[in-house]
Amino acid sequence: GDEERVRRGALQLLRVALRFAGPGGRVRVGLVDDAARYGLRVSAQGPEAAQSGWLGEPLAALRRFALARSGELEFEAMDGTGLCAALWFAREEPRA
């Protein structure tokens, strides 16, 4: 259920962020939450981030992961030196 989805989402996000940051880089992970959804956010910065032409396929895989689980991915690259990504999941309606 939700636990497994979040755990797998965290692993996917961390793979992208750690690879982006590279040696000597920095990665931050946090939980995000609002009334309709919840998720994970990562930001990454690194000295080798500007040479991140490889980002296409890992980012596409992360998007596929989100869509397959009725989620959404927000992604922003920051001047070639950093990235911020959030993986959101819709809250399930309480059962009556």
pLDDT digits (tens, 9 = 90+) for 11-69: 889 988 888 888 888 999 999 998 889 999 999 998 765 555 667 787 888 889 889 88
**Apex CA 72: angle with CA 90 and CA 19, to 5°?**
130
| Residue 74, pLDDT score | 92
* Cα distance between residue 47 and residue 64, in whole Å: 28
Those residues whose C-beta lies under 8 Å from the C-beta of residue 53, and which sit 6 or more positions away, are none
Contact 38, 89 (CB under 8 A): yes
pLDDT at 94 over 70: no
pLDDT at residue number 6: 83
Question: Terminus-to-terminus CA distance in the chain, angstroms?
Answer: 18
Supply the pLDDT for residue 41: 94
List phi, psi (to 5°) of 25: -85, 180
Q: What is the pLDDT of residue 87?
A: 93
**Residue 76, pLDDT score:** 86
At 89, list the tokens: 């999941």
